[in-house]
Amino acid sequence: MDIYKEIFENNKKWVEEKVKNDKEFFTNLYKEQNPHFLYIGCSDSRVPANVITGLDIGDLFVHRNIANLVPNTDMNVMSVLQFSIEVLNVKHIVVCGHYGCGGVKASMNNTSFGLLDNWLRNVRDVYRLHESCLNEINDSNLRFDRLVELNVIEQCVNVIKTSYLQKSYIKNKYPEVHGWIYDMKSGYLKDLKIDFPKILSKVRELYNLE
């Protein structure tokens, strides 16, 4: 079957399956959403947020872009952050990168991709911040993996720099910020276990907005 038609067939089967177990499934979800997680990940087709986490619809508020970036000038990601913190009251914010990320890889090469160069400049800035550590890694694949990890950590820092995160955390003790890596070769998720309270207090030395 042509893949375009297949989508609608799949959707029909999925609806029937959901309603079979719970007649009110869609009508209840229509009334409100109450996700506990904001997930910020890469647009890569091989890293679908709900599939890799095993969470159902309604469980994850999702923002995806090339290389899972959180630039403070991007109205899109900033709006998602503000809304999920102030309105949805999410308890956790996850930035999830993935090994083999094409966006991160592109930022390590001297090739122009037009408009995208401006977006990926954010990853080059991460490289610049950690240049000496990264240049010490001789194996180019390991250096690539490490940049993927450092990019996730720096995007977590960008989340923590925002007034929304600081205001909410000081008042409510949530949301907590986490950095994850999805390993495309194995399918496993890895928690980078960033020291959120330590990063928050360090960030607040310069970026205290509350």
Per the annotation, the verdict on 36 as an active-site residue is no
Residue nearer to Co ion on the CB measure, 126 or 165: 126
Active site residue 96: no
154 binds Co ion (CB under 5 A): no
Contacts of 155 (CB under 8 A, 6+ apart): 40, 68, 69, 70, 95, 97, 179
Q: Which is nearer to Co ion, 35 or 103 (CB)?
A: 103
Best CA proximity match to 119, nearest among 79, 177, 73: 73
Specify the DSSP class assigned to residue 170. Answer: H
Dist. CA 132–CA 193, nearest whole Å: 23
Task: Check binding of 152 to Co ion (CB under 5 A).
Answer: no
Q: Is 22 exposed, middle or buried (0-12, 13-18, 19+ CB in 10 A)?
A: exposed
- The one-character DSSP state at 67 is T
Residue 195 annotated in active site: no
Distance CA 134, CA 96 (A): 20
Q: How far is the CB of 109 from Co ion (least distance, A)?
A: 15
The catalytic residue among 63, 96, 101, 145 is 101
Q: Exactly one of 63, 98, 145, 178 is catalytic; name it.
A: 98
Nearer to Co ion, 68 or 84 (CB): 68
Our answer to whether residue 156 is catalytic in this structure is no
101: contact with Co ion by CB under 5 A:
yes
Active-site residue, 133 included: no
Residue 69 CB, nearest distance to Co ion (Å)? 10
Contact string (CB under 5 A) for Co ion, positions 27-66, x = contact: ---------------x-x----------------------
Please choose, out of 7-15, 101-109, 156-164, 181-189, the segment that lies near Co ion by the rule CB under 5 A.
101-109
CA 92 to chain centre: 11
Pick the closest to residue 169 from 79, 90, 63, 73 (CA basis). Answer: 90
Footprint of Co ion (CB under 5 A) = 42, 44, 101, 103
Active-site positions read: 42, 44, 46, 98, 101
